[in-house]
Amino acid sequence: MKPSRLSLAFKPFMAAAAAALMLSSCSSLSYYSQAAQGQLELLTDSRPIDDWLADPATNAKLRHRLEAARQIRRYAIQELKLPDNGSYTNFTNIQRPYVLWNVVATPELSLKPMQWCFPVAGCVNYRGYYSKGEAQAYAKELRRQGHDVEVGGVSAYSTLGWFSDPLISTFINYPDAELARLIFHELAHQVVYVPGDSKFNESFASAVEAAGVEGWLERFGNPMMVDAFERYSVRKKDFMALLVRYRGELEKTYASGLGKEDKRATKARLFLALKDDYQVLKANWGGYAGYDRFFAEPLSNAHLASIATYNDFVPAFRALLRKERSWPAFYKSVNQLAKLDKSERHRVLRSLAAPAPTAPLVVQRTMGAGKIEDGFQKP
């Protein structure tokens, strides 16, 4: 981003005001206020990475993590052609486990999430709070209205290039490959973002993160890192498959001719079965408990409402990436898709993800200076 001519005193005010517009609805002044204050604190409390590294009080672990993040950001810019701006050049140490908490809500017998519409971000399936207490208070109000509700902690988010998103203590200690995944994902939102089409936005960013991490591991990974990320990926895939299966069962139940009481009973039975199957899955992972927080609150439709958002179009974007064979060409094609009507955009993506009638793609891998993965030439 180009430096602003605004005075230093005025910049925080502008940041707070724009953050309020991006993160809030028009329903209450208090919501605008907490959104503005939360973003303002995040920006004003950040310090350049160089300052942290020059500070004798910075411990060795944080130094190592900041150096790793700087190398990942460099790779994102040079190899993935992601935006080179002030994002992830600063670090903010906040005294809470998550940067904010999202409230997701659905009707009692539906998986269709409620939406909140913002002037910049468009309509999204959540409402974010920088205070867990305020998020829980709003969730309580929604439950009182009869909705299913989930309150989930968020480690990072993108301001879509409006501001220089900092590295935050909520995710800086992720393993290297997972840190790379997050940075690639959030920077991808600055390349293309369509207001009101979360499925398009998140699937695109997820596709960029997946291909980006594969290339990054080829360049910088060691066997231990690769093995750890493969185990992480397998667990994530297994868990998502479990959620998708139960989401499908619930969708069939809600679309059936059963009466409300029977639907409620089936819903309760399915959520109990989901918890039981998770324990089996957890045992297969050797007791890995990383997804336990998903079950911290009583299960509800809201837990499953956004499952498709991050994944449905990922195969389509991966297919487009193979077709275009370079990151700039890929981003150009995605920007062209972004200009289409939403229904047409989704139609094109579904056609891209459809199985090809020809022979399967032969994946080539070379050990030379150029690497080919899934048919895509990487420098």
DSSP readout, 279-303? Answer: HHHHHHTTS--TTGGGGSS---HHH
pLDDT of residue 117: 83
CA distance 174 to 156: 12
CA distance 36 to 38: 6
pLDDT of residue 8: 31
CA distance 152 to 150: 6
Torsion, Cα of 151, 156, 162, 167 (10° steps): 150
Torsion, Cα of 134, 140, 146, 148 (10° steps): 70
Alpha-carbon torsion 319, 323, 324, 327, what sign?
A: positive
Which regions in the chain score pLDDT beneath 50? 1-26, 358-379
Q: Note whether 137 and 111 are within 8 A (CB).
A: no
Amino acid at 267: K
Amino acid at 2: K
CA distance 19 to 244: 33
Q: Note whether 209 and 185 are within 8 A (CB).
A: yes
pLDDT of residue 28: 63
pLDDT of residue 114: 94
Helix H or strand E segment including 277: helix 260-284
Q: Note whether 27 and 35 are within 8 A (CB).
A: no
- Neighbouring C-alpha atoms within 13 Å toward the C-beta of 180: 28
Strand partners, 289: none
Please count the other Cβ atoms lying within 10 Å of the Cβ belonging to residue 352. Answer: 17
Query: In 3-state terms, the chain is what percent helix, strand and coil (to 5)?
Result: 55, 10, 35
